[in-house]
Amino acid sequence: EAGVTQFPSHSVIEKGQTVTLRCDPISGHDNLYWYRRVMGKEIKFLLHFVKESKQDESGMPNNRFLAERTGGTYSTLKVQPAELEDSGVYFCASSQVGGLNSPLHFGNGTRLTVT
Amino acid sequence: AQKITQTQPGMFVQEKEAVTLDCTYDTSDPSYGLFWYKQPSSGEMIFLIYQGSYDQQNATEGRYSLNFQKARKSANLVISASQLGDSAMYFCAMRASTAAGSYQLTFGKGTKLSVIP
């Protein structure tokens, strides 16, 4: 079974540019999550999809971030325009069910550097 | 609001020895799940072990065990017979319900474990 895959693994962009991160969850996993870790801080929740619907987007920092999951398969996270404080590692995770005891399976993350 | 505290930024352990990584948590929710993840230098987050708030027994998975003390709100990870491959960042995390009906994970800052040969 293929794990959660994220693309690209690294991205370096200039302030003001746009970047789109992609996540392919484990096949059959309806629940898809985005998290991010800014340097020196905790890993923070961004949002949660159930199939194509946004279940919880309370962690999205501002309207420069747009997440989509058309068709309930892969998801994209777009940052437009990027700011310096957006630098960090963006993780995607998926789970088959969304309950308390269901572990999240994480991808390797995308390291975003905004210069 | 949920909070996870890992007070050890870094730990060293001799190969083949056991090590305990500390984790305390805070939540007002009676139902929650506690998780430990390992992040090697390659970057992936690997799920290690889970403990439910109503579980009577401590969880074990191979060399990993979770010392769950509910009254103290602690969920320490014990790694027995450390191996060089155990060198990594270890994150404690809690899953509880949110106002939006989601079960998001709340992470601690992590503990960097280094195994010495």
Q: What is the pLDDT of residues A40-69, one digit of tens each?
A: 789 999 999 999 999 999 999 999 999 999
B58 touches chain A (CB under 8 A): no
pLDDT tens across A81-90, in order? 999 999 999 9
Residue B64 burial by CB count (10 A; 0-12/13-18/19+): exposed, middle or buried? middle
pLDDT given for residue B2 in this prediction = 86
Helix (H, G, I), strand (E, B) or coil at A70: helix
B90 contacts chain A (CB < 8 A): no
Cβ contact (<8 Å) for B100 and A42?
no
Residues of A in CB contact (< 8 Å) with B are 33, 35, 41-45, 48, 55-56, 58-59, 89, 91, 93, 98-109, 111
Q: Is A82 helix (H, G, I), strand (E, B) or coil?
A: coil
In the prediction, which pLDDT does A1 show? 66
Instruction: Identify which of B43, B53, B105 has the shortest CB distance to residue A104.
Output: B105
Of A17, A34, A52, A36, give the one whose Cα is nearest residue A104: A34
Of the candidates A37, A44, A39, the residue with the CA atom closest to the CA atom of residue B1: A44
pLDDT of residue B1: 77
> What span, in angstroms and rounded, lies between the C-alpha atoms of A44 and A38?
8
d(CA B51, CA B68): 8
Judge: B104–A59 Cβ closer than 8 Å, yes or no: yes
Question: What pLDDT is recorded for position A79?
Answer: 97
Percent of chain A with pLDDT over 70: 99
Picking from A98, A100, A106, the nearest residue to B45 by CB comes out as: A106
> What is the Cα–Cα distance from B105 to A104, expressed in whole angstroms?
9
Average pLDDT in the A66-77 region? 94
B89 touches chain A (CB under 8 A): no
Helix, strand, coil percentages (3-state) for chain B, rounded to 5, are 5, 50, 45
User: Which residues from chain B sit within 8 angstroms of residue A111, using beta carbons?
Assistant: 43
Tokens of B56: 């009577």
* Preferred mutation among B31, B51, B105, B111 to probe A, highest tally of A CBs within 10 A: B105
- B96 CB-near residues (< 8 Å, 6+ apart): A100, B2, B27, B29, B31, B32, B33, B103, B106
Rg of chain B's alpha carbons, rounded to an integer?
Answer: 14
Task: State the pLDDT at residue A73.
Answer: 92
Q: Is B108 on the interface with A (CB under 8 A)?
A: yes
pLDDT reading at A101 higher than 90? no
Element (H, E) at B31: none
- CA pair distance B8, B1, nearest whole angstrom: 22
- Structure tokens, A105: 């399976």
Weakly modelled stretches of chain B, pLDDT under 50: none
DSSP character at residue B57 = S
